[in-house]
Amino acid sequence: MNIEQQELEAELLVGAAQAVRAAQAGAALNLVLAFVKIGSGIVGHTYALVADGVESLADVVSSLIVWGGVALGARPPDEDHPFGHGKAESLAASAVSILLLIAAVGIALQAVREIRTPHEFPATWTLGVLLGVVVVKSVLARRVKSVGLRSGSAAVEADAAHHLSDAITSAAAFIGISAALLGRHFGGGPRWAAADDWAALVASVVIAWNGVAMFLAGLHDLMDRTPGEPVLAPLRAAALRVDGVRAIEKLAARRVGVGYRVTVHVQADSTTTLADAHALGGHVKYAMCRAVPRIQSVLVHMEPYDGTTAAP
């Protein structure tokens, strides 16, 4: 392994370590917030806050899944897994999305029961709890999203979406409780006590929407969907800049964990010797790895340039 490849692998390991720390921090914070919200919801007579706490418990589980997925995905290839363990990342992201969907269904069902059951008005002080939760979760979602983008971890990005959905749920609960309290203040009657339950029902739809979007993203990675021109275009341009490359016939990439695996068919002069073709393939690989972060491997297939493919 050359020095450049060692540097690239070191960058991938650093990104994986950042992703693991983000998942650990998320799990710890979610556990604290879950107990705060559930306890406040029970004492303050607001199911929206209880539902929010249940969703935070699901966040704890999702963060633990992300933690395990990132840690497993960062393991190097072995005899049984010669292409590495990166798919664990996508599996973790899909598992998190399924948890979101389960949480959404559970919250919706309980919200409907609460709407149909007369109950007390929520306590005013629960608004302060929710406001604090919205701020904390919004900041956490933004920071975890940043780590996910830097590390290229789909699982961490899914975890960030989970944190954001929690902030949205809390914001919906805040609106619902505010509506209930305003209704009581202006003599709206007992029916306004269910306003926070309606907010929980709306929040469940938002959570389900996020869950479906995350599941589809993880599914696409598991099915090796192409990352598209944002990744392929700079790879193609980098290869074509290498001296001796006449054309690129085929180029494909797929996401595996925090990185990409690339296959490229490079055309060179038919008079190129085997040794020179091998060296040229190495230059192409190095150029691609430098052009796009998180390239795990590049398989270069050398072909003779026949003049039918437009030269750069």
pLDDT (tens, 9 = 90+) of the chain, 312 residues, equals: 454 555 555 555 555 666 777 777 777 887 888 888 888 888 887 766 777 777 677 777 777 777 777 777 767 777 888 777 777 777 877 887 887 788 788 878 877 887 787 666 777 888 888 888 889 888 888 888 887 777 666 667 777 777 787 787 788 778 887 887 887 767 666 667 677 778 778 878 877 887 888 788 778 878 878 888 888 999 999 999 999 999 998 999 988 876 788 999 999 998 999 999 999 999 999 999 888 877 888 999 999 987 765 444
Q: Homologous superfamily of 229-304 in CATH?
A: Cation efflux protein, cytoplasmic domain (3.30.70.1350)
Say how far apart CA 40 and CA 21 lie, in whole Å.
Answer: 29
**Boundaries of CATH 3.30.70.1350 in the chain?**
229-304
Per-residue pLDDT at 301: 94
Per-residue pLDDT at 5: 52
Per-residue pLDDT at 239: 93
- CATH class of the structural domain 3-222: mainly alpha
**pTM beyond 0.75, yes or no:** no
Per-residue pLDDT at 312: 43
Per-residue pLDDT at 303: 92
**Boundaries of CATH 1.20.1510.10 in the chain?**
3-222
